[in-house]
Amino acid sequence: MDSEEPSRAARILLLAGVALVGLNLRPFITGIGPLAPDIGAQTGLDLKGISLLTLVPMLLMGVFAFAGPFLQSRIGARRSVMACLVVLVLGSLLRLFATNGWQMVGTAALLGLGVAVIQAVFPGIVKKQFPRHVGVVMGLYSATLMGGGALGAQAAPLIAAAAGGWRIGLAWMAIPAALALLLAARCLPRDTVVRQGGASATALLRRPRVWLLMACFGLVNGGYSTVVAWLAPFYREHGWSAASSGGLLAIMAVCQALAALFLPMFARSKDLRPWLWLTLVMQAAGFAALAFWPEVAPIASAMLLGTGLGGCFALSMIVALDHLPDPTEAGTLSALMQGGGFLITALPPWIVAVMHNLTGSFAAGWLLHLVSVAIVAVLYWRVTPASYAGAMSLPAPPALLVQETA
């Protein structure tokens, strides 16, 4: 019995590491919205410039997610995560010294790079270390990721007000990143040599299902990137203060975290599509309320959006991991889905900023995401568990086919 204790203790410590690392992956983005007017006034960034503080990190999350399988096999997941946590600490601290728009965009790029690699390799760690509890642990990871978004949205304006400047309101995020680095050094399993085999990233990219998962992930999370960029400025245009608009964004992010944690626990069936459609209905209701009745029930709208976005994120990650039984291959698929998905996710905040400049309102942007939700609902119709094996099966090499038919 005693021999099992270290393993149990190690698992608990690893769960804590999963939670704390996840907590650090969104505050640097969600903290921008409530402070956007102050950042713009002191750095010269207009709405399109402010949107780059979300667009650039999301683009990097997409581009460098494709490098996840390579880094995991050549450098190791543990070393990759720890190096990127160092990058998060550095990127946050550099915001203390940002004096113009391009310097702010540079810190956003640095932070986005760090988050991109962590997101690419982390699902593979979860699949390998918790093979019988992937849904629950991915729910925990997703919940803390969204909870970090709530923390950033709420704490950034409060700390900025207390400290007398938006730079400290963003730079404090180096502290939890440093704590995550210390815990990761203690709890993450040692790297082992990964033998390449099975489905490679190049081979997986030949499967239409991978592109479908990318599209769904990107369109849904495009709604998230727009909300974290423009929900607070949207309500500041309606006369809300920085703290109040940040509080609304925090409520949305808390609902995201709760949905990401609990929906995977409730969704016990193999077929997750009914649960995915439920989250899409919630998103549709939230975006419609923002477009047509922004002042009627803003808290209810934020809660609907948060629940829909958070639940859909966690379930999408589980669906990707369920497609392949091998942890390395499943991690590769997850990295590819996030890579292509975040390339799509990066664009909507900028598109919505352009639409705002043309129309003078964010309403057109909310309607754009209402259409995106409808598209994803149709695409997910094809993602049945019975189709997983066939969708991911790779054609045999030509020489083998000749042997079999001879």
Residue 194 pLDDT grade (very low, low, confident, very high; cuts 50, 70, 90): low
Q: Among the listed ranges 76-90, 120-134, 176-190, which one has the minimum average pLDDT value?
A: 120-134
Q: Is the predicted pLDDT of residue 402 greater than 80, yes or no?
A: no
Mean of pLDDT over the chain? 86
Q: Is the predicted pLDDT of residue 52 greater than 50, yes or no?
A: yes
Tell which wins on pLDDT, 300 or 389. Answer: 300
Tens of pLDDT, residues 210-228 = 999 999 999 999 999 899 8
Q: Is the predicted pLDDT of residue 403 greater than 50, yes or no?
A: no
Domain boundaries, the chain: 14-189+201-392
Tell which wins on pLDDT, 75 or 248. Answer: 248
Could you tell me how many residues make up the chain? 406
CATH architecture of 14-189+201-392: Up-down Bundle (1.20)
Compute the distance between CA of residue 272 and CA of residue 306 in angstroms, rounded to an integer.
19
CA-nearest of 8, 310, 270 to 134 is: 270
Let me know: does 145 contact 118? Beta carbons within 8 Å. no
Tens of pLDDT, residues 131-180 = 888 778 888 888 898 888 888 888 998 999 998 889 999 999 999 999 99
**Across 54-69, average pLDDT:** 82
How far separated are the first and last CA of the chain, in Å rounded? 57
Q: Is the predicted pLDDT of residue 47 greater than 90, yes or no?
A: no
Q: Is the predicted pLDDT of residue 107 greater than 50, yes or no?
A: yes
Q: Measured at the alpha carbon of residue 312, what is the angle toward residues 214 and 213, in degrees to the nearest 5? A: 15
pLDDT of residue 253: 85
Number of Cβ atoms within 10 Å of the Cβ of 6: 9
Compute the distance between CA of residue 251 and CA of residue 22 in angstroms, rounded to an integer.
18
pLDDT of residue 193: 53
**Across 354-378, average pLDDT:** 94
Compute the distance between CA of residue 144 and CA of residue 386 in angstroms, rounded to an integer.
31
Distances (CA, A) of 124 to 95, 121, 138: 31, 6, 10
Residue 192 pLDDT grade (very low, low, confident, very high; cuts 50, 70, 90): low
Q: Is the predicted pLDDT of residue 3 greater than 50, yes or no?
A: no
Secondary structure letter of residue 385 according to DSSP? G
